[in-house]
Amino acid sequence: MTLDRDLQSVQEVRNLVAQAKKAAAQLAEYSQDQLDAIVAAIAEACAQNAERLAKMACEETGFGNWQDKILKNLLGSTVTHQSIKDLKVVGILREDEGQGIWEIGVPVGVVAALIPSTNPTSTVMYKTLISLKSGNAIVISPHPGAKKCICETVQLIQEAACKAGAPEGAVGCISLTTVQATDALLKNRDVSLILATGGEAMVRAAYSSGNPALGVGPGNGPSFIDQSADIPLAVKHIFDSKTFDNGTICASEQSIVTLSCIAQQVEQQVKAQGGYFLDEEQSQKVSRLLLRANGTMNPRIVGKRAVEIAKMAEVNVPNETRVLLSRQTEVSRQNPYAREKLCPVLGYYVQDSWEEACDLCVAILQNEGAGHTMTIHAQNQEVIRAFARKKPVSRLLVNTPGALGGVGSTTNLAPALTLGCGAVGGSATSDNVTPRHLVNIRRVAFGVRELEEIRGNHPVPETACQNAPMLEKSPQSSEPVTSADVEAITRAVLARLGMA
């Protein structure tokens, strides 16, 4: 008898979660030093294989370029490890004898990790490191389009973890990738927390699963160039970001917003640095390629070079073109230039004042990408503060590339490939997710005062007792209080409160 693939995949998930639950119980007994040794071994193994896995990911998915994926893999391994290696996140974290409070880090248990095809190997590394650092087991759900390189990365990690003393089942991975398998993982009652990185539909599924989840919504960050900016450097930063791995990081810029008084200078720098402004006809051709009929991003354009996208749209551009730009005035869901584009394509908007530009950036973010990331290029502190107060984002990056600054490479934000979008973006956190988000804090609180002290500090006014409705019967009366008595007292109280 041949079992249905969907049923087999669901059973595999049940087995993986059961093994992970057992491993999590063992990991919960490990000291921070024991966990750190496992994490160090995994990080080293991943770094040693960063180039091989980058090439595998690029070949399998067709997204980006392997040279930049090496840097992503190092971010997910070496850089992440350096950031977290000295953190203490399990065991007794703080003992405040003066306040009578202890804080103890407790692993959440089993982490379910959804892995996207845009950053497959690096995200596996990063999520595994932060999960095991905090004493949790992890079960990975690969994107079907990157299954081979994800599974290869997991196997490498499993071997390194086992040699370093991790229990069997601490790192699991679904091999039968089906929609039913992912759904079963998300809804499994033994999953303690979901780390959801992927498309908007997948993140919504995680939040509606019934299990706690930390998800990442779409990015659609505009980049504002103020008149106080170093314009050549601003354009360089935007292009460095938008061409890094061909724009597959969701924190990368999706639009340029600038001022009419400097538009000519900005456009000169755009052209000088490899940008190509599409004319109206060309913009329409590329527009039809960017979105599918159902209004979602066309996967064919993800992680492709600008010249490849132009060729697909039957638009002729110079071979040295790095980024395609389209002049725009409209912001709507129907306008792909005002939406997330995980490729080297930018919308280009010009406003007369920074206040108008500020409002336009808000409109772009509210159109898509609220809560995620945007960049500003300016030296004027007043303008930067105004943007910081008003923008519905979790990360406002100043004078740095969005893609690299958002994940903590060119900023001092925590290195991460799961970037929380806060409440405005439908996320449970606005942070770059770290091991601290994967533990519960158990608080031990010692008694420091008695009831008599509380009463002494907060005496009950005598008038409160004098004005209280009294029972007609003496408290010493042996007669029971009847329902009529209760009703009378209730009416009296409501009358005093003016409610009857």
Share of the chain above pLDDT 90, in %: 85
Per-residue pLDDT, averaged over 69-94, amounts to: 98
- Nearest-10 crossing angle of helices 200-207, 179-187: 40
Instruction: Say whether both 309 and 440 belong to one domain.
Output: no
pLDDT band at 225 (very low <50, low <70, confident <90, very high): very high
pLDDT band at 104 (very low <50, low <70, confident <90, very high): very high
pLDDT at 486: 74
Residue 424 lies in a domain: no
pLDDT at 167: 98
Instruction: Say whether both 183 and 35 belong to one domain.
Output: yes
pLDDT band at 108 (very low <50, low <70, confident <90, very high): very high
Is residue 417's pLDDT more than 80?
A: yes
Residue 360 lies in a domain: yes
Is residue 139's pLDDT more than 90?
A: yes
Residue 456 lies in a domain: no
Q: What is the CATH number of the domain that holds 261?
A: 3.40.309.10
pLDDT per residue as tens digits for the range 428-445? 899 999 999 999 999 999
Query: Is the CB of residue 428 less than 8 Å from the CB of residue 77?
Result: no
Average the pLDDT over each of 59-73, 297-311, 409-423, 480-494 and give the range with the smallest value.
Answer: 480-494
Rg over CA atoms, the chain: 28
Is residue 223's pLDDT more than 90?
A: yes
Query: Which among 391, 366, 368, 364 has a CA at the least distance from the CA of 376?
Result: 391
Instruction: Say whether both 18 and 73 belong to one domain.
Output: yes
Based on the residue annotation, tell me whether 361 is a catalytic residue of this protein: no
Instruction: Say whether both 21 and 70 belong to one domain.
Output: yes
Residue 457 lies in a domain: no
Q: How many domains does the chain have?
A: 3
Query: Which among 243, 248, 220, 289 has a CA at the least distance from the CA of 117?
Result: 248
Q: Which residue in the block uniquely carries the two structure tokens 């406002």?
A: 396
**Catalytic-role residue among 58, 173, 250, 421:** 250
Instruction: Say whether both 479 and 357 belong to one domain.
Output: no
Looking at every residue in the chain, the average pLDDT score rounds to 93
pLDDT per residue as tens digits for the range 113-135? 999 999 999 999 999 999 999 99
Instruction: Say whether both 300 and 203 belong to one domain.
Output: no
Residue 427 lies in a domain: no
In 399-482, alpha helices (H) = 402-406, 451-457, 462-466
* The residue type at 223: S
Query: Which among 435, 495, 437 has a CA at the least distance from the CA of 467?
Result: 495
Residue 430 lies in a domain: no
Tokens found for residue 45: 């193994």
CA 360, chain centre distance (Å): 24
In 172-262, alpha helices (H) = 179-187, 200-207, 231-243
Residue 280 lies in a domain: yes
pLDDT at 490: 74
pLDDT per residue as tens digits for the range 262-276? 999 999 999 999 999
Q: What is the CATH number of the domain that holds 168?
A: 3.40.605.10
pLDDT band at 198 (very low <50, low <70, confident <90, very high): confident
Residues whose CB is less than 8 angstroms from the CB of residue 326 and which lie 6 or more positions away in sequence, other chains included: 277, 278, 283, 286, 287, 337, 345, 346, 347, 348
Query: Is the CB of residue 374 less than 8 Å from the CB of residue 222?
Result: yes
Instruction: Say whether both 187 and 64 belong to one domain.
Output: yes
Residue 103 lies in a domain: yes
Cα distances from 257 to residues 54, 81, 287, 328, 497, in angstroms, run 33, 36, 19, 10, 58
Instruction: Say whether both 311 and 349 belong to one domain.
Output: yes
Q: How far apart are CA 321 and CA 310, in angstroms?
A: 10
With H, G, I as helix, E, B as strand and everything else as coil, classify residue 477. coil
Range of the domain at 469: 463-496
pLDDT at 488: 76
DSSP classification of residue 396: E
Query: Which among 245, 57, 52 has a CA at the least distance from the CA of 148?
Result: 57
Instruction: Say whether both 292 and 362 belong to one domain.
Output: yes
Per-residue pLDDT, averaged over 387-398, amounts to: 96
pLDDT at 461: 67
Instruction: Say whether both 210 and 335 belong to one domain.
Output: no
pLDDT at 1: 55
Q: Is 191 exposed, middle or buried (0-12, 13-18, 19+ CB in 10 A)?
A: buried
Instruction: Say whether both 253 and 389 belong to one domain.
Output: yes
Query: Which among 417, 419, 447 has a CA at the least distance from the CA of 432?
Result: 419
The predicted model scores a pTM of: 0.89
Instruction: Say whether both 271 and 161 belong to one domain.
Output: no
Per-residue pLDDT, averaged over 38-60, amounts to: 98
pLDDT per residue as tens digits for the range 229-257? 999 999 999 999 999 999 999 999 999 99
For 132, list phi and psi in degrees, rounded to 5.
-70, -30
